[in-house]
Structure 1
């Protein structure tokens, strides 16, 4: 999206020329990127020594163009805080693409079932966004709009590209320096942690960004808004990471099979890093709301220098040295990302840690109880996973209720009523 989507969302008034300029630039950019990807596909396949990747990359690359077609529909709905329409679209796309993927897998299409599933989801997502939020470009391009939006969005684009590249660096290093089986175990662990981490936090971040963007001129209200987001996201993400770490072995055995059990240590290490994910993302999000995408880029460069250092130190100690180095770099990133939160909103890292302390302490208590319980429980991995998850959730919520934490108060007075209202509108 070249950062244009975030630029549009924080605009107080989106003009038609802004929309048209954004659409034209993104559409042309997606075609150029696809052409580059098309011709780079053989080199990518050669790097991974997998000839089949050539056409897989070329076909999946078409999603760049497909997704660019609905950038305006998605951005305007987000700016209007209309997540009901987006939820309906995503629900239909997930179900439709899932059916296609399952049918193709059943008939033996192998990896192409996944390629088709992702492609069908992109097509359905874009198509239904056009149907439910119709808009046609005027095909007018304004350099004034482009300079204004790209001035903000280009920094986000560069930050995202740098971040995405480094997200895959560890995979590349493991694939090159260690056995292929280890890369498989690490990738499976990453998938498990990301499934919990991304699904829990991305929803919170997606909803909070347009809401807080409207408070950008009131620093006092903006700080209070961020405090609530950090508290609420911690309330959900920290126990999710703790429980996944504690139940890593039964979760892997129950969900993907015993052969993936060697992934468990990686899952646990990544869960330790996952506890910081929302911290880092929220602090960067604050800079975007304030229009300082230039600072997010500077921070990204500093953090990646730390990651390079962590790789250099950790790699000689083997795969665990490499992964532990990445975990440590995530905690160092907390100090880097929170610097401007303290400077602009007077919201220091110390204050942030104090705000999430109740959820952290209660999560560790619940995790300790689940660990003790799981060691005493005989039986199938699925049973241990279900009982452990239920017991951990009940203990966690029970401790919060007994402690009468601010998080529970926010959930009772704000979240539950708004959720009921949302479901009433949806159904």
Structure 2
């Protein structure tokens, strides 16, 4: 199968996986929002924050280095495998015994059991993680899709069942752990043919992987701090209930980023790594990625912005109205973030992960005083605005780095993005008129608003961007 066909096939399977996983996650959050207090979501948000922080150190960026080097040496892979297991067990102990400090900072006793239980995550995932990296390197996206779907379904069913039986915040933790057990088992089963670990451990063989990973860890650490400083401040200063509102608003607005963008980037990076010496092709691919991401994310974000007043009460019920103004801020932050994400494919392809480290360092230096000042003035809303401002600054610097790596691209990018921006303005205008003359609240009005907005964007796209002939041609290639 040609590289192009592998990319199309991979995109198809990752899309299927993402759609199904997103549906189950969306249903899970919608059901649990009606069963659990907002403070529960704040508790789980803290747990997720801690897990994500320690995850930065656990694999030293081996996923990117394995793909970049196209690593096949069984001894090197065995060393990486056992190093990951050791790191995972060490981090499990650190997280488990750090629970009292976390409880003291957030002043929330429920966090003790949650953090200790969540620490098992690091015992589970590293038995199968290297197999996931190898499946990505070999472009086996069908296998990856199967395991993602299976984990999402089992995890969601577990969490919902336990929530109905009174497990409160523990229902979400057990759901997440169950999901990772299923995924790990399937990663091993589907990837074992590419690698079977031998009793071999030699750090000298993986010096380049470690060197590559040091900047990954530094970049990840700074990226974590600057990406989660708002959550840390909200939870520690304003309490877990405010953090619950903030988290749900943020999660809903970043759904397109966390679910749609990986479809493109997960397929793109292994392919771009194979053409790392061809700057012309890298530039074309980068612009295409930005174009595709714009058309996928913009209509969803614009639709959420204009329909938030009707969608939130319908999905989550009463009591979640404080999330609405936050969602409208996060929509813009989400859009700017999605345009920044493709840089990592270029930076890693060119072997320049250090640039991402410096980018996050500068963003963090700018963001901390913004969070302090805006938060002091306007509390949770101010923190959301500070996050948005820092994201805009990050995007400007992001594009400057991309320019230094692949050359001038802004003129073509601006020409491309002007269309989806115009289509979204027309979509928002059409829905706004419906709201003014017909209504906002209720299931029927909500569904009609979504239908009108979707129809406007689709018609404009088919008229001025993508013809039926191109769609038919694409379907045949798939």
TM-score, scaled to structure 1:
0.92
1-side partners of 2:259 and 2:367: how far apart?
A: 25
Unaligned runs of 5+ in 2: 1-58
1:18-417 aligned within 5 A: 18-134=76-192, 135-178=195-238, 181-319=241-379, 320-378=381-439, 380-403=441-464, 405=465, 413-414=473-474, 416-417=475-476
Superposition deviation, residue 354 in structure 1: 2.9
2-side partners of 1:43 and 1:396: how far apart?
A: 50
Superposition deviation, residue 144 in structure 1: 3.7
Report the 3-state secondary structure (helix = DSSP H, G, I; strand = E; otherwise coil) of the residue aligned with 1:338. helix
2-side partners of 1:412 and 1:165: how far apart?
A: 45
CA contact (8 A) 1:66 1:123 kept: yes
Superposition deviation, residue 353 in structure 1: 3.0
CA contact (8 A) 2:226 2:360 kept: no
* 339 and 245 in structure 1: CA distance in 2 versus 1, 3 angstrom threshold: same
The RMSD of aligned alpha carbons is 2.0
* 67 and 417 in structure 1: CA distance in 2 versus 1, 3 angstrom threshold: farther
CA contact (8 A) 2:105 2:236 kept: no
2-side partners of 1:44 and 1:166: how far apart?
A: 19
Deviations 1:363-405 (A, max 9, x none): 12212212222333337533233222222111111101111x2
2-side partners of 1:274 and 1:341: how far apart?
A: 20
Superposition deviation, residue 411 in structure 1: 5.5
Superposition deviation, residue 26 in structure 1: 1.1
* 407 and 235 in structure 1: CA distance in 2 versus 1, 3 angstrom threshold: farther
CA contact (8 A) 1:185 1:260 kept: yes
1-side partners of 2:435 and 2:62: how far apart?
A: 48
* 299 and 167 in structure 1: CA distance in 2 versus 1, 3 angstrom threshold: closer
TM-score, scaled to structure 2:
0.82
* 321 and 172 in structure 1: CA distance in 2 versus 1, 3 angstrom threshold: same
Superposition deviation, residue 350 in structure 1: 4.6
CA contact (8 A) 1:235 1:407 kept: no
2-side partners of 1:408 and 1:177: how far apart?
A: 53
Q: How many residues align?
A: 417
2-side partners of 1:411 and 1:210: how far apart?
A: 25
Deviations 1:152-211 (A, max 9, x none): 122112212222233332123223444654333222211211223311212221111111
Instruction: Considering Cα pairs closer than 8 Å and 6+ residues apart, tell me whether 1 or 2 has the greater RCO.
Output: 2
Deviations 1:255-285 (A, max 9, x none): 1013111211100000011111121111233
CA contact (8 A) 1:79 1:210 kept: yes
CA contact (8 A) 1:66 1:126 kept: yes
